[in-house]
Structure 1
Amino acid sequence: MAEQGPRPPHPSQAQVGPLDGAGVALVTGASTGIGRHLVEGLAARGMVVAGVARNPDRLRTAMAEVAEATGARTLAVAADVTDRASVEAAVGEVREELGPIELLVNNAGLIDEFEVPIWEADPEQWWDVVSSHVRGAQLTIRTVVPWMVLRNRGRVVNIASGMGTRANPDYSAYSVAKTALVRLTEGLATALEGSNVRAFNVAPGVVDTPMTRAMHMWQGNTHWTPPEKVVELIAAIAAGELDQWSGRFVRAGKDHLDVLRRTTPDDAARQLRLRPYGEDDPLG
């Protein structure tokens, strides 16, 4: 039987405690692209990193390369984040081999196969994209967060996107998925209030990866977000330096860490909300 997490206490009953910068990180979509950069960057900062991806050979190679380059301990766990049993088995293996997970980074996700209007998109591929981001994040959160709440320490980072804050006619599935992920993060952060577990939306910007290179909209782009900026932002979150931004959207390469550290957002800053049409808007 797949391992099930403990029934956690309500966050308001937990005792708040400190979070160290080092610990065990679990990164999904770890074998390539942004996930691969995150694995190496976090390992170089002293974290023990477990990588999850569907392709076992590519994943094992990537994690072995990181271990050799950084001297850090890594673990490759092949799993499909959209499959409940696969996620539960993977998280159970990470906990058994490495210990409690203190940082969960939901990075895995697909992109629309073709740049076409929604009515021309293949329905199965469209839903596969949405599921990879939303179901994948929900399943890992469901399996990891109860243990974080039980220990009253942990950080969850969902890899968001600017395309989740505005419509994109050519990447409708990806836009819908990222919008849903942003709202999922906000709901999670609200449920965790009163505990020392936090959740964040981190948009990495346009990082030079095989996925972005394959997208027509980025062909010829020369202004890439350095992957180190993404690592720095998530490392600061893991260290508990940006807790006031829990449930909100931050963007690597645009947001400066020193500004984020000294800024406490209020109201609905960096959250998805309807804009009133005027002073008389009844929903304003």
Structure 2
Amino acid sequence: MRKLLLLIAGLVLPVAAWAQPFRPPQPIKMDPPVYPFELSQKSIGGQVEVEFVITSAGTTVNHRVLRSTHSGFNAAALEAVRKWTYRPGSNEGRLVNVKVSQRLEFFLEADQVYPFELLLSRVNGQATVDYVVDELGRAWDIRVIEATRPEFGLALSANVTGTNHAPDFDKSETTGVRRKVTRRFVAEGKESPIGPAAQTLLKALRAGGAQFNDKEFSTVVKGAFDETYPFPTGTGVALGTEGWARVEFYLDSKGKCWFPHVLAESHPGLGYMAVQAVQSKNFHPQKLKGAVAIRSQVTIKFSAMTR
């Protein structure tokens, strides 16, 4: 499953216009906006900058969009800002109205996949990649800058590809400005992405000899992988090249997917892209019938295509 994230940048206040001492407004309630369904289905991210006035009563009025990367986000951003409340600002002890601007970023972050064999072996690590985001929030030209193990670099690259990012306001920047992200991979402890629900399964996998209920993929998934996925950027393959990757994964009784891992791949890097695709799918609740988990496999198809 992908996580819905909202980044709310700091308030921009015209402080210089106020006499001192000036105390700026402080947020009380800033609920995130509803992500527009059609844009989330198309994996489109965006930014909206909204100008509004925080009144002396702590409410917001006079809302307007200053700029936006996609007009489809405007209504959601404005509706959210209208409901925000603040401790009002003051000037020389008197409550005052304050005009501000606020930037809201919409993006859906793909769940981070931990390289399976390294997780089983309790290997920690780190990777850094950089990339360019286009006008639709898609990541391109992803490069691994450093990785303590190659698998961590591949996993992070697949995660960046599977995330829909917030594009820059200035579309001309999307062809030149590179973004960078560093991710730590921690197999155990508080920083580990493996929650209590998966610890029993992970313990069984590490111990070996666990009983699994093997099922055909078509019986466990809500939506089939009929689509063909694009090759990851930077592979250098010719346009029209086709490829595939075979992934094995485990499901708990609620249909939650755990520990997808690569069995085979036609080209380097496709395996982790397939793992990321499986991780993002919804599955039917499962009857374990005494087994630790359901085990299944799927083959994902890829094609080298233009944007």
TM-score, L = length of structure 1: 0.28
- The structure where helix makes up a greater share of residues is 1
TM-score, L = length of structure 2: 0.26
- The structure where strand makes up a greater share of residues is 2
Greater relative CO (CA pairs within 8 A, separation 6+): 1
